[in-house]
Structure 1
Amino acid sequence: MTVHFIGAGPGAADLITVRGRDLLARCELCLYPGSLTPDDLLAYCPPGARLVDTAGLDLDRIVAELVEGHRAGKEVARLCSGDPSIYSAVAEQARRLDAAGVPYRITPGVPAFAAAAAVLGRELTVPEVGQSLVLTRVRARSTAMPPGETLAAFGATGSTLALHLAVNRIEQVAEELLPHYGPDCPVAVVARASQDAEQVLRGRLDEIAGQVRAAGIGAAAMIFVGRVLAAESFPDSFLYSPGRDRSAQPHSSQG
């Protein structure tokens, strides 16, 4: 039997992948991340499945549940909010499963930043405006950031920023980025993208902190900073340019 780390997506039950849904349907044990997992997503689990809310569990207890489920002959689902490759604690769980000799597989999911960008109706890479996206966070009551991975360092590149776990430090974010992006830089905040309680704010870097506080947004939000958020006058991508030589390109039978 196998432990399945499954990206649950941003919240909406229909934004889990087909593979993830099908895996859930056959797992007799499912560990899920508390209130971030809606009931209609857990409804994909089979009747009689044991559901374990991990919100109040430490890492050792979570891994113990995974190991015990595997050794009991069950397939085990470990749901991760968004995509397991980003801020999911999969690395330390996988390390412990390796030590215990327990096999596991990872199924990707729709990451929170992608769902939030879809809500905004924006592409995050716009020709000659922004071609790089930095995914990062700020430190609050959490693991220390590695040396050099600071907002100032990322801001100096001028890249589009997608900040996780940072909305409770929105004043700090704005203060550190203002020297690099300027007060009029577009900013967007999307809370609980794809869920019933979804909230969207758009504004300037020098105003966004006040908007966030006025809206009462305090958790589960993405912050985007960058000129791509309001870009209008930009060239078309070279990929589809009429001047591009397509003579050597393979032809699709479907046009």
Structure 2
Amino acid sequence: MTVVSFVGAGPGDKDLITLKGYRRLAEADVVIYAGSLVNPELLDYCKDGAEKDDSASMTLEDIIAKMQEAVAADKTVVRLQTGDFSIYGSIREQIEELKKLDIGYECIPGVSSFLGAASSMGVEYTVPEVSQSVIITRMAGRTPVPDSESLQRLASHHTSMVIFLSVQGVGKVVRELLAGGYKETTPAAVIYKATWPDEKMVKGTLADIAMKVKEAGIRRTALIMVGDFLGDDYSYSKLYDATFTHTYRKGIKNAKQ
């Protein structure tokens, strides 16, 4: 029986899709894509004659009905979403509805925008002796956030932080982070449409990032990155240290002397 393939693409660049995701997309008879979010150039990978439906104006019921219709006709179906579909993709509700209809599904992960953003900046979220944890979250809006996960409470951990879906309230984000214990000197960055051709990057600290974002005219489709991992202090890892022994290499005593 035909299954519905949930395919996560990349954060923007159409080449940042996995080979498995690409193959599913290229073979699909019906593609239901998140038109307000995914790069439309991804549809270039579709075969001639493939049906392409933009879900931007569809309801959950519309999406499921389209999937059910296609599966009943033994057509291959791809639900094309962004690379963030394992974080903020609303696929759970689609999967639950498919289960009710006894329609099979598979999930093919994509490349998240928080990974694309770090790559664009040439940074990694964990730095030895600086930070070894990453918090991915969002500011409360029309979708509420549990009190225990407020930005102020999460800020108390002083970890690396990536904040989705919140750039429109960057000023409030900064206030909550400062109230939670981050210093005004904490490095911060905002990346608009990471890996897209019109990507825009703003760097600063919690003292000035809100002003810089406003001056840059960034109001949506952006990530806020906060933490000392963006700063100038760092330590090299032990992984490639010549004096460090691990399973695949024996350390050399006094190698650095």
Please say which of residues 2-11 and 54-63 is displaced more in the overlay. 54-63
- DSSP-derived class of the 1:148 partner: helix
Structure 1: distance between partners of 2:84 and 2:141: 22
State the partner residue of 2:15: 14
Q: Which 5+ residue runs of structure 2 have no aligned equivalent?
A: 251-257
- TM-score, normalised by the number of residues in structure 2: 0.93
- DSSP-derived class of the 2:135 partner: strand
Superposed, 1:168-179 pairs within 5 Å as 168-179=168-179
Once the two structures are TM-superposed, the CA of residue 250 in structure 1 deviates from its matched residue by 8.0
- DSSP-derived class of the 1:242 partner: coil
Once the two structures are TM-superposed, the CA of residue 67 in structure 1 deviates from its matched residue by 1.6
- TM-score, normalised by the number of residues in structure 1: 0.93
Structure 2: distance between partners of 1:78 and 1:231: 41
Superposed, 1:36-185 pairs within 5 Å as 36-141=37-142, 143-179=143-179, 180-185=181-186
Once the two structures are TM-superposed, the CA of residue 206 in structure 1 deviates from its matched residue by 1.5
CA contact (8 A) 1:201 1:211 kept: yes
Structure 2: distance between partners of 1:47 and 1:103: 25
Q: Which 5+ residue runs of structure 1 have no aligned equivalent?
A: none
Q: Match of 2:164, as an amino acid?
A: H
Please say which of residues 102-111 and 176-185 is displaced more in the overlay. 176-185
User: Cα RMSD (Å) of the superposition?
Assistant: 1.4
Once the two structures are TM-superposed, the CA of residue 245 in structure 1 deviates from its matched residue by 2.2
Structure 2: distance between partners of 1:58 and 1:250: 55
- Structure 2 CA distance for partners of 1:52 and 1:184, relative to 1, 3 Å: same
Once the two structures are TM-superposed, the CA of residue 139 in structure 1 deviates from its matched residue by 1.8
State the partner residue of 2:225: 224
- DSSP-derived class of the 2:158 partner: coil
CA contact (8 A) 1:178 1:206 kept: no
Structure 2: distance between partners of 1:55 and 1:39: 13
Please say which of residues 34-43 and 214-223 is displaced more in the overlay. 34-43
State the partner residue of 2:248: 249
CA contact (8 A) 2:38 2:81 kept: no
Structure 2: distance between partners of 1:83 and 1:28: 24
How far does the alpha carbon of each residue in 1:39-93 deviate from its partner, in whole angstroms, 9 at most, with x for none?
3211111111111111111212112111221111111000111132110001111
Structure 2: distance between partners of 1:245 and 1:214: 50
Once the two structures are TM-superposed, the CA of residue 36 in structure 1 deviates from its matched residue by 2.1
Moved over 4 A (4+): none
> In percent, how many aligned pairs have the same letter?
38
CA contact (8 A) 1:84 1:106 kept: no
